[in-house]
């Protein structure tokens, strides 16, 4: 019997997502079937444009695993997504959102075992009225819609070299100190530790908690947030039985010797986490959403409009996202 496939939402159709899916199918393995939520006509045109001999088969979710052996299965969308590579159009926003919605619904309904999302262009979605900061936050809304409860999604960027979790995510840097709280750090660290245990199989996850300020505040000389907020949060995590250390200076947290001392670095803001992760593993890093009742991964790069339609995009991160989704959902 064919394995339950992984659903892949197409992401921004004017970006590299469609051709990454084509490249991934060319490098397919029989025990990792996936299907794409997209416009079959768009996919045929993109395959022709980038010179990839990939047959496209329109199908429904139930037939995707069987179709995967002979073609890239594409489950058609109700909304149109016909755009030119490198030229995003707000008219395709409804199709982008529909692909995400249907991917989550497929996992909930037992038609897929995990979701991989291709990169989106948030600015385009915002112009169409999208009210969420990004993929991560919207997935939390969809999880609540289908599974109930109050899921609190947490972003983790994972690779074999380093794993990082930003405590605050898509907010301006100037807003970070006021958004940061002891409770937020504790909740984020607790969710990260729980998923590292349950999904990554790490019995006692080690958390390295970065300070907010340079040198973790230098004992208050460079800011008091690390004394007032971060240190008490670390102590609460430790009292809850989580192996947490910090606050630690972020500038010495990511060299090779330091990385051997922890399983995930808990960082106070977006770029403190993602800049070193992308510098160390740009082509292999995967965005994983923790704290959800389903597995979701994504390549850790953007839409790359300058490469869309050229056939020069690197599928490494997309393939890593598929591989990790497979590992976490087995």
Residue set of the binding site: 135-136, 170, 215, 270, 278, 287, 296
Residues annotated in the binding site for a divalent metal cation, as ranges?
170, 215, 270
List Cα–Cα distances, 92 to 44, 126, 323, in angstroms.
Answer: 17, 12, 28
Sheet of strand 154-158, all strands in order from the earlier edge strand to the far edge: 56-58, 72-76, 34-38, 6-9, 115-117, 296-299, 286-290, 154-158, 163-166, 264-267, 206-210, 243-248
CB atoms within 10 A of CB 168: 24
What is the distance between the alpha carbons of residues 101 and 112, in angstroms, rounded to a whole number?
A: 13
The beta strands (E) that lie in the chain are given as 6-9, 34-38, 56-58, 72-76, 115-117, 154-158, 163-166, 206-210, 243-248, 264-267, 286-290, 296-299
Residues annotated in the binding site for substrate, as ranges?
135-136, 278, 287, 296
List Cα–Cα distances, 212 to 179, 246, 248, 303, in angstroms.
Answer: 12, 11, 9, 30
Rounded to 5 degrees, what angle do the CA atoms 291, 301, 37 make? 70
């Amino acid at each position: 019997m064919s394995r339950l496939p992984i659903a892949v939402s197409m992401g921004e159709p004017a970006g590299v997502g469609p051709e990454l899916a084509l490249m991934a199918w060319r490098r397919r393995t029989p025990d990792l079937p996936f299907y794409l939520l997209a416009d079959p006509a768009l996919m045929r045109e993109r395959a022709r444009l980038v010179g990839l001999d990939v047959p496209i088969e329109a199908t429904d979710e139930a037939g995707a695993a069987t179709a995967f052996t002979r073609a890239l299965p594409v489950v058609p969308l109700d909304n149109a997504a016909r755009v030119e590579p490198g030229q995003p159009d707000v008219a395709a926003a409804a199709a982008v959102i529909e692909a995400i919605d249907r991917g989550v619904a497929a996992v909930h309904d037992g038609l897929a075992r995990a979701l991989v999302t291709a990169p989106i262009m948030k600015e385009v979605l915002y112009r169409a009225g999208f009210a969420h900061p990004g993929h991560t936050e919207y997935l939390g809304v969809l999880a609540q819609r289908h599974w109930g409860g109050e899921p609190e999604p947490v972003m983790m960027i994972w690779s074999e070299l380093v794993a990082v979790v930003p405590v605050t995510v898509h907010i301006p840097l100037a807003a970070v100190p006021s958004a940061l709280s002891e409770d937020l750090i504790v909740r984020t660290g607790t969710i990260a530790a729980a998923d590292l245990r349950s999904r990554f199989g790490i019995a006692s996850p080690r958390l390295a908690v970065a300070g907010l300020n340079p040198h973790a505040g230098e004992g208050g000389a460079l800011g008091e947030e690390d004394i007032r907020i971060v240190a008490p949060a670390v102590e609460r995590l430790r009292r809850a039985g989580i192996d947490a250390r910090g606050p630690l200076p972020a500038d010495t947290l990511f060299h090779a010797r330091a990385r051997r001392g922890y399983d995930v670095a808990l960082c106070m803001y977006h770029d403190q986490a993602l800049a070193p992760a992308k510098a160390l593993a740009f082509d292999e890093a995967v965005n994983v959403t923790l704290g959800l009742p389903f597995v979701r991964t994504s390549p850790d790069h953007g839409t790359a409009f300058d490469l869309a339609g050229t056939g020069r995009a690197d599928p490494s991160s997309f393939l890593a996202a598929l591989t990790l989704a497979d590992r976490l959902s087995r």
